[in-house]
Amino acid sequence: MTATFDPHSHPHRRLNPLTNDWVIVSPHRTQRPWEGQRDTSAAPASAVEHDSDCYLCPGNQRSTGATNPVYDTTFVFDNDFAALLPTVSSPHRAHSDELLIAEAAAGECRVICFSPRHDLTLSRMNRDETMAVIVLWQDQLGELQQRWEWVQIFETRGELSGSSNAHPHGQIWASDFIPDEARREIATQASYHSRTASPMLLDYARREADDGERTVAINDHWIAVVPYWAYWPYETLVLPRRPLASLLDVTADESDALAEVLSTMLRAFDQLFNTPFPYCSGWHTAPKSAAPGFQLHAHYYPPLLRSATIAKIPASYELLANLQRDLTPEAAASNLRAAAASRPAQVSTSTDRAGAGR
């Protein structure tokens, strides 16, 4: 006789409704003997407020020869090595071959420094400092979306995730096209909305708020969850709790509430393995053109799996066949909630509100 299905111990598949990809969940594999990489000491967080060798610190010179202003809040500049440029030439198809297709891709790329302090990450900022970053996101989005179809706000944190500089910073790439991942999410949300007359991710936020098993942080305006379909071990999804398509529509009260949820979630990340948690993250905010049923959200994709230095690397089966994870999203959320509650919030000592107003 087949045993009654238990999602916490039996292998199964879960569908990601945003991408229509399936994720294999194999919780029984967390009990297998581990003969792979063992943990070593994690790199500590930067202990200096200003690094004379850092090209993002105030007053320092960048590789192009430009000198940063002595900024005292957030700071934005055009990326010195931009992946997209505002004016580009159109490529020609090779002999009109349908297998060799290229087209022009134009845009703007910017670097955004969250703080003048080299050692102050988002996870350690106080609420006013986090609010200043949210306002910066909104201001940049409002300006760039006047010229570009899609504005991707993102952060790559930590060497393990591919960050080239330890100074707390993110990037913005604006483009005249909608990138593949966003295009898929726009299509799935529009399809859901046409069937239900409700935003997919708003319905999902309501279900997660009622359930609570995968919730990491929640208040009246926002919820952060390990999504039911998560692939990365400690992947999280940040969602508004009302219909909200764009960061530009986030009110001052909602920004304050978002700062609270982000702080709780990011502190939990850092506390989980007692290390500055690496991750790739970004906001999906509505494009310039119409997107029925689109709901604002942020993805956080941390690679850490077992400890401060052991990351999940997509293995052969995943690259050739199907995404797969061992730790269940429910267990991951439980671990993060425990980490968030394990000690008081760590915040900076700064009380300056400079840059927090719009």
Which residues participate in catalysis according to the annotation? 169
325, two tokens = 């994870």
Count, in order, helices (H) and strands (E) of the chain. 6, 12
* Residue 357 burial by Cβ neighbours in a 10 Å radius (0-12, 13-18, 19+): exposed
For residue 110, which of 58, 169, 65, 60 has the smallest C-alpha distance? 169
Burial pattern 18-30, b for ≥16 Cβ within 10 A else e, equals: bbeeebbbbbeee
Amino acid identity at 20: N
Separation between Cα atoms, residue 84 and residue 86, nearest integer Å:
7
240, two tokens = 């508004």
Within 10 angstroms of residue 94's Cβ, the number of other Cβ atoms is: 10
Angle between helices 252-272 and 329-340 (to 10 degrees): 100
**H-run or E-run covering 283:** strand 279-284
* Strand stretches in 74-161, DSSP E: 75-78, 107-113, 150-157
- DSSP per-residue codes, 19-80: TTEEEEE-GGGGGS---SPPP-PPPPPP--S--TT-TTSTTPBPTTS-B----SS-EEEE-T
Contacts with 51 (C-beta within 8 Å, 6 or more apart), sequence order: 57, 118, 166, 167
Amino acid identity at 241: R
